[in-house]
Structure 1
């Protein structure tokens, strides 16, 4: 069952000439409980874009082994970072949609999730009922991947009962690069710089990149551009990949291995930022700021996590500008 998201106040519902904007994020459980986490993971891990094993093999493994084992463990992780208004990803995505709406008063801005609620499918149902004239879809993934961006495209293609356009990824958008670099500078201004800057991106199975997925190349391009904007020497920063799942080979180097290597070199303080995540979530707050920070501390160092752009004015500005350029070019 899907719920239909309530639009953020903007263009009048029922106006056939109106344009709607959907900001789409990955998704989240609706509660930090084992049943809610199992429901969310079941939908997420059923997506063939995410796990490409044959269904007759994967489905029994998922439902009878992985979900029963991981549901309770992952629920505890969510509980450690849960906010009064919901999961961090849900709260920050909702706030970001509100901020973008303020900058685009002529549009109807909504947020939706690829997995979980408010669902992307439900958003299209609501927009059809409101007789919206056209829809712009902006996935909140700076770097393109078949596992994320293309999965959103699958839903968009199946829901084309109105003019719909999906905006491309923005890994090299100068405004996005500047916003990330400025957020790092602001943190350094307030706290002083660490000895090393680590850019941690979500991981991906190596076979997908070998098969043509441009994700790793775009992460590298983003990392180089951010480091250049900060004026960093090559030895002052590094790039790694986190959140590995399963036993196959994933992109290297792993964030955990990189931090171990930095500790072994005697680096005492590392600042970590996660540019591939539009807003803070379980992977940034629990995996990086808690779990890996504790691991690095056990090796004698201090890991300082620099938050995502979240609903900052700079983030809302650059996303609104991307949408406005798309409208002007239409």
Structure 2
């Protein structure tokens, strides 16, 4: 990205500073990649801490606290940590002793830092909405390195109050505690960006080329949200549908060959439909033998893609009569995935130099 000379000149002192006045450091811009979060371990205590933070977020669970907290502390947090911990244990990066989401998000940050390595005015870091490293810790770290401007990039292609909005909430909570708060920008949803659609399409084509079968149907499975949130105006469902439509057009598929479904529902209320698990069961019962699933709403593979789709949904498909199943990996830190992140970051940095 070419930077105007006039903007660079703005970083230079216009005259001598008063005696004893500290020098003003050169202005820098921090780029912060943000993802959902991860527990620090798979045992009860770290899982309990992570789930408490996640499920206490009023953006995620909109029930009245007086109703929800007795359920959360009396039932959910006494049973769910063990089950979730067992699921995480199956996909845990044992070499680094961390979840795949943390491994991948760190790698995305490091690769983006390499891309901007020739520009000392840009510093790249990463944080999590829940768990560690927190958004507040990352903001403080960037600020300590001289960043008076921060571009926060919630890595959610489709906007939802349960994801993008709560990440932004946490960013501004961190700023509220700072005396000299940096200026900030937040990246908008990129669900229909050509570079993102092209990256998804290439990932599908490359993965299918490695299979010994041709899927009869591909499901684009997105994380669900309660239908009530959509009824209140959350734009997530529309963004998901547009992503699938654009991907379908790019791949030359029809509505039957590439379908939108929603996964990961929690609780008894109705969520966005059709449900991924119910859909694969029906497809198998209807005679569909071979399917593949892609998760366009996840920028990095995680518990919901690797275990829920890669294990649970696959088992449900086979149990219902399916024969061949494949999960298409997320964009992660692949060449295509990094091309999306780089292009969006470069665009959103315009005007800050």
Determine if the TM-score, normalized by the shorter chain, exceeds 0.5: yes
Worse-matched range after superposition: 152-161 or 273-282: 152-161
Mapped partners of 2:344, 2:259: distance in 1: 28
Q: 2:310 pairs with 269, 282, 289, which one? A: 289
- Tell me, yes or no, if structure 1 residue 279 matches structure 2 residue 291: no
* Structure 1 residues 225-270: Cα deviation after superposition (integer angstroms, max 9, x where no partner): 1111111122212110000001111000000111011111101010
Q: 1:305 pairs with 323, 327, 341, which one? A: 327
Q: Is the 8 A contact 2:105 2:126 kept in 1?
A: yes
Aligned to 1:104: 116
* Structure 1 residues 135-158: Cα deviation after superposition (integer angstroms, max 9, x where no partner): 000000000001110101112223
- Tell me, yes or no, if structure 1 residue 168 matches structure 2 residue 188: yes
RMSD of aligned residue pairs (Cα, Å)? 1.3
- Tell me, yes or no, if structure 1 residue 23 matches structure 2 residue 33: yes
Structure 2, unpaired ranges of 5+: 1-23, 176-180
- Tell me, yes or no, if structure 1 residue 316 matches structure 2 residue 338: yes
TM-score by length of 1: 0.93
Aligned to 1:135: 150
Mapped partners of 1:329, 1:230: distance in 2: 35
CA-CA distance at 1:35 after TM superposition: 1.1
In the alignment of these two chains, the number of paired residues is 317
- Tell me, yes or no, if structure 1 residue 32 matches structure 2 residue 39: no
- Tell me, yes or no, if structure 1 residue 190 matches structure 2 residue 190: no
CA-CA distance at 1:315 after TM superposition: 1.1
Aligned to 1:11: none
Mapped partners of 2:214, 2:107: distance in 1: 29
- Tell me, yes or no, if structure 1 residue 205 matches structure 2 residue 226: yes
Structure 1, unpaired ranges of 5+: 1-13
Aligned to 1:231: 252
TM-score by length of 2: 0.87
CA-CA distance at 1:188 after TM superposition: 1.3
